[in-house]
Chains A and B, each alone.
Chain A
């Protein structure tokens, strides 16, 4: 990786909606799939296509990493980084969390995926089944009898559910 602070090597990424993003190679190397591509094609100057990632998603991810990498290597990393992560996650609505999870999974960004899946779990905790269905865009394919039987089997789990905020 380049140690020259004036001219850092950049990589171009092209999203599903045909937008191109020029990023520092340091950030690009955080994405597992991009890293593999760059290692196999070190000379390539062409933009790397990311057909499964939208421009909205990618720009959020880039923004996240720009701050995240600044924390790495700084002595107060732990607390500040933690606060940043919490704020970042809090600012995303459910739809965005889901999109980001898909993108992080496709791009193979382990740490970000861990953070996002934990955030999704935290949001689901203690919410209703209907909330979970809406969150994941999943349809209920149980018959009314089947669903009733499951609820009856785990009656105790359905007590004290938080009201859905959205």
Chain B
């Protein structure tokens, strides 16, 4: 039978293939190649990937055998390792001075520090990346965020600059446009701590529910903080504010870290530097409803933490709602809040677990990116030129 299968049938088959197989199928014939590199197919394939729970992975940064690296693990019972990622060759000289800004739809956003203006979007599953053009921002007090605008099917990088003491300006990079723009919405006067005083790493905004969230405050730096959650909606490009739980409002802002909780809400971790580095974890059970803040760690009854020799560090949440903790080792453990049970996952690191993100394999950047194995080319277009396309 030599008749061609109709396009809709081809899509039905190809969208079910893992990323590696789809990429190979580009070589089958020209028709398949053009089908696979079509943005609408890339999107269909991603939707299929997202709908399968066993495709949910965790992107972990830790050190195995003395070497720090990025690893993908299955987000299953045993958190088995899937693969070790190889950092894009062109950015090897940045290693390890980079931060993972975020992970979205198979794209990982990395930024190099202390050169805070250098960022890349990287798809480790297909080994492609693009180097973002540098925005014309002269300030180095920046909070970063990486997210996806479902309204325009666009991946965006947010840089919030603190100019002076309380003047906040936001800049947004759009992957579709390949350019930066200055956000015009005005924002009431807030301050924010943009860098860790110990590591120099920048504050990262968490992207949840279509918006970026990070910690800001009012009051004098070093004296009487009133902290709150600053938010920025990726589609409407408007700022907003959410209140923290009462007992966290007076904290030093760098003690607080916002993370994603469940599909569409947030949690906040407070690291208490005095009390033996105890981590407090609060979740917003109903996103946006201040009255729904609930403390889940430490438990009211401290004796239930007998599994821990010293207070664990909260790293993030798993798909099943368990909390990922770094315990003595350092080792990774999963904590079931409902049954109050700790499970050691057998993942050890030489140094700390620096970051945890959810991840899914996708074809995003297949039609745009540069090979991660290649020498990078210089792209220093400023934010009002169209910028050249990376492919």
Contacts and interface: CB of A to CB of B under 8 A. Distances in A.
Contacts of B29: 133, 138-142
A121 interface: yes
Contacts of A95: 1
A151 B373 CA distance: 14
A132 B2 CA distance: 14
Contacts of A155: 373
A153 B13 CA distance: 23
Contact of A120 (B1, B8, B13, B373): B13
Contacts, number: 82
A120 B13 CA distance: 7
Interface string A125-166: 110110011001111111000010011011111100100000
A117 B14 CA distance: 9
Given A121-B17, A138-B32, A101 B27 contact: no
Contact of A125 (B8, B18, B32): B18
A124 interface: yes
A157 B24 contact: yes
A100 to B, nearest CB: 11
A56 to B, nearest CB: 12
Contacts of B20: 126, 157
Interface string B28-45: 111111000000000000
A118 B5 CA distance: 15
A117 B2 contact: no
B385 to A, nearest CB: 28
A113 interface: yes
A140 B28 contact: yes
B88 to A, nearest CB: 13
Given A117-B13, A129-B24, 14 more contacts: A102-B9, A113-B12, A121-B17, A126-B20, A129-B27, A132-B24, A137-B1, A141-B29, A142-B27, A150-B33, A154-B23, A154-B126, A157-B20, A157-B23
Q: Which 10 A-B pairs have the closest CB atoms?
A: A121-B16, A117-B12, A157-B23, A129-B27, A150-B27, A117-B13, A137-B2, A120-B13, A154-B23, A157-B24
